[in-house]
């Protein structure tokens, strides 16, 4: 069977664009809150990668400097190379950026309005749930052993009780793993 | 356009497009494990483009609009000083270096994908990264628990259950939960005011 490479590539890019443009517009509470939805789309629905690969890409995005949305850059790269990385990132960023641009002029009049409190509290309560769901999902995907699960729990506890920089914990996890202990 | 360009209230000269790019570039490259603290340091303390209050104000707007908060912040700050070009410079600045770094790191790791050391290190890091997200969720939920804000917590539990437990799609879930949560908060606030 002859596959038209160019056409397939275009359709890959179009898939990425539509998916992340849609996801960007429902991104209440930042990129972490979107993890369950992104995973559902790229792992369960489209089958571009398995849950373990997804968790690995998320880990790299966390370990790198810069915004959390690098997860989306990496998904684009994984699926369709450099063009995919650019298209996925741009599609996620652009629609909300336009909204922000328009709203930033009007915000001075909006803020302090009594209804805004209700809107922010309401959105916040749902967002917290999305982030918790993201945590559960990532723990499930990365718990390849009892030690890995214990490491996730220990990280949570340490972060709740100390002000240690997360990068040290990531480095510690990498060291334990490199020694073959996880 | 609703956009009004204003000079910094801190008395320093209006940053140029190039300065906006460089400023956000430095946030992107320094922001390990969360860029927002670095953004505040750069914008409020080092370059003094915004006062502390202006920063909080801009941040609350960026959290209100959907999308990645830091990118929205780059748009808002850039547009305030240099209009659309300023916004573009801010977004390009914050994304450029991190994108190159993360793609480079990924490519490098995949070259060594067979190495048990790399596989192990990624396993360990993934477990920690998952724990970071759980901790974030707990930290955000704690104030609601302390305030005994059962109304908000009810919606938090509903959203964990719908998205985490039942794996429902996000769009319809939010279309139901967000208006319901806002209406409930509004109704509760009215009730208290009376």
Spatial contact of A87 and A80, defined as CB atoms under 8 Å apart? yes
List CB contacts (< 8 A) between B186 and chain A: 115, 118, 122
Identify the pLDDT of residue A9: 86
CA-nearest of A144, B122, A142 to A156 is A142
- The answer, yes or no, to whether residue B3 has pLDDT greater than 70, is no
Answer whether residue A138 is part of any domain: no
Q: Which of B80, B106, B121 is nearest residue A74 as measured by Cβ atoms?
A: B106
| Distant-in-sequence, close-in-space partners of B121: CB < 8 Å, separation ≥ 6 | A173, A174, A175, A177, A178
Domain boundaries, chain B: 17-111, 122-193
Q: How many domains does chain A have?
A: 2
Closest approach of B61 to chain A, Cα-based (Å): 7
Mean pLDDT of all residues in A4-16: 89
Q: Among A133, A149, A169, which would you mutate to test the B interface (most chain B Cβ atoms within 10 Å of its Cβ)?
A: A133
Identify the pLDDT of residue B4: 63
Q: Which of A125, A176, A181 is nearest residue B152 as measured by Cβ atoms?
A: A125
The verdict on A95 touching B (C-beta cutoff 8 Å) is yes
ipTM: 0.86
Spatial contact of A97 and B84, defined as CB atoms under 8 Å apart? no
pTM (2 decimals)? Answer: 0.87
Answer whether residue A26 is part of any domain: yes
Phi-psi group of B11: left, alpha or beta (phi > 0 → left; psi -120 to 50 → alpha; rest → beta): left
Mean pLDDT of all residues in B119-143: 90
List CB contacts (< 8 A) between B101 and chain A: 64-66
- Are both A97 and A158 inside the same structural domain? no
- Are both A45 and A102 inside the same structural domain? yes
Across the interface, whether the CB atoms of A105 and B131 are under 8 A apart is answered no
Identify the pLDDT of residue B90: 96
- Are both A147 and A89 inside the same structural domain? no
Range of the structural domain that residue A177 is part of: 143-182
> CA B112, CA B122: separation in Å to the nearest integer?
12
Closest approach of A1 to chain B, Cα-based (Å): 29
Answer whether residue A40 is part of any domain: yes
- Are both A167 and A114 inside the same structural domain? no
- Are both A45 and A98 inside the same structural domain? yes
């Amino acid at each position: 069977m002859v596959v038209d490479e160019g056409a397939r590539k275009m359709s890959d890019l179009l898939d990425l664009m539509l998916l992340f443009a849609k996801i960007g517009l429902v991104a209440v509470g930042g990129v972490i809150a979107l993890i369950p939805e992104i995973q559902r789309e790229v792992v369960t629905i489209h089958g571009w990668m398995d849950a373990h690969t997804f968790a690995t890409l998320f880990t790299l995005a966390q370990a790198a400097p810069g915004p959390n949305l690098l997860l989306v850059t990496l998904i684009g790269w994984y699926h369709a190379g450099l063009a995919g990385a650019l298209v996925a990132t741009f599609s996620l960023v652009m629609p909300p950026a336009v909204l922000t641009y328009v709203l930033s002029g009007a915000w001075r009049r909006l803020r302090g309005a009594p209804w805004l409190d209700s809107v922010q509290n309401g959105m916040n309560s749902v967002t917290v749930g999305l982030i918790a769901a993201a945590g559960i999902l990532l723990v499930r995907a990365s718990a390849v052993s009892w030690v890995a699960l214990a490491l996730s729990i220990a990280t949570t506890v340490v972060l709740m009780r100390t002000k240690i920089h997360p990068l040290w914990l990531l480095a510690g996890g990498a060291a334990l793993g490199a020694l073959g202990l996880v | 356009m609703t956009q009004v360009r204003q000079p910094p209230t801190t008395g320093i000269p209006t940053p140029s497009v190039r300065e906006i790019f460089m400023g956000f570039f430095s946030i992107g490259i320094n922001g390990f494990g969360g860029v927002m603290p670095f953004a505040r340091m750069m914008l409020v303390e080092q370059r003094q483009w915004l006062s502390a209050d202006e920063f909080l104000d801009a941040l609350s707007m960026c959290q209100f609009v959907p999308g990645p908060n830091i990118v929205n912040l780059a748009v808002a700050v850039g547009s305030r000083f240099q209009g659309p070009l300023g916004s573009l410079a801010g977004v390009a600045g914050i994304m450029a270096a991190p994108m190159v770094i993360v793609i480079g790191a990924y490519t490098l790791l995949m070259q060594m994908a067979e190495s048990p050391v790399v596989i192990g290190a990624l396993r360990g890091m993934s477990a920690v990264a998952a724990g970071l997200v759980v901790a974030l969720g707990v930290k955000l939920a704690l104030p609601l628990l302390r305030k005994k804000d059962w109304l908000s917590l009810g919606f938090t539990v509903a959203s964990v259950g719908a998205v985490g437990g039942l794996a429902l799609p996000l769009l319809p879930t939010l279309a139901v939960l967000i208006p319901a949560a806002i209406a409930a908060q509004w109704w509760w606030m009215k009730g208290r005011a009376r």
